[in-house]
Chains A and B, each alone.
Chain A
Amino acid sequence: QCVTTLEGHENEVKSVAWAPSGTLLATCSRDKSVWVWEVDEEEEYECVSVLNSHTQDVKHVVWHPNQELLASASYDDTVKLYHEEEDDWVCCATLEGHESTVWSMAFDRSGERLASCSDDKTVRIWRRYKPGNEEGVACSGTDPTWKCVCNLSGYHTRTIYDVAWCHLTGALATACGDDAIRVFEESAVFAAALLLLLCHNSPGRAVTLHCSASVLRTSVEAEPSRKKRPRVSFSRHMSLMARAVFPVSFLE
Chain B
Amino acid sequence: GRLSSALDIIRTIRDPEKPNTLEELEVVTESCVEVHEIGEDEYLVIIRFTPTVPHCSLATLIGLCLRIKLQRCLPFRHKLEIYISEGTHSTEEDINKQINDKERVAAAMENPNLREIVEQCVTEPD
Number of interface residues of B (CB under 8 A): 10
A57 contacts B by Cβ under 8 Å: yes
Question: For window 39-54 of chain B, which residues contact chain A by CB distance below 8 Å?
Answer: 39-40
**Which residues of B line the A interface, CB within 8 A?**
38-40, 79, 97, 100-101, 103-104, 107
Contact partner of B103 among A57, A100, A157, A198, CB < 8 A?
A: A57
Whole-angstrom distance between the alpha carbons of A101 and B104 in the complex? 12
CB distance from B109 to the nearest CB of A (A): 13
Whole-angstrom distance between the alpha carbons of A12 and B102 in the complex? 14
**What B residues does A12 contact at CB under 8 A?**
103, 107
Contacts A12-B107, A30-B107, A178-B38 given; does A158 touch B101 at CB 8 Å: no
Question: For window 102-127 of chain A, which residues contact chain B by CB distance below 8 Å?
Answer: 119
Contact partner of A101 among B38, B39, B79, B101, CB < 8 A?
A: B101
A75 contacts B by Cβ under 8 Å: yes
Interchain pairs with CB closer than 8 A, number: 25
CB distance from B38 to the nearest CB of A (A): 7
The chain B residue sitting closest to A202, CB to CB, is B40
**Which residues of A line the B interface, CB within 8 A?**
12, 14, 30, 57, 59, 75, 100-101, 119, 157-158, 177-179, 198, 202
Contacts A157-B38, A158-B79, A178-B38 given; does A119 touch B103 at CB 8 Å: no
**B97 x A30 contact (CB < 8 A):** no
Contact partner of B97 among A101, A157, A178, A202, CB < 8 A?
A: A101
4 tightest Cβ-Cβ pairs between the two chains A and B: A101-B101, A158-B79, A30-B107, A100-B97
Extra A-B contacts (15), CB below 8 Å, given A57-B103, A57-B104, A101-B101: A12-B107, A14-B103, A30-B103, A30-B107, A75-B97, A75-B101, A75-B104, A101-B97, A119-B100, A119-B101, A158-B79, A178-B38, A178-B79, A198-B39, A202-B40
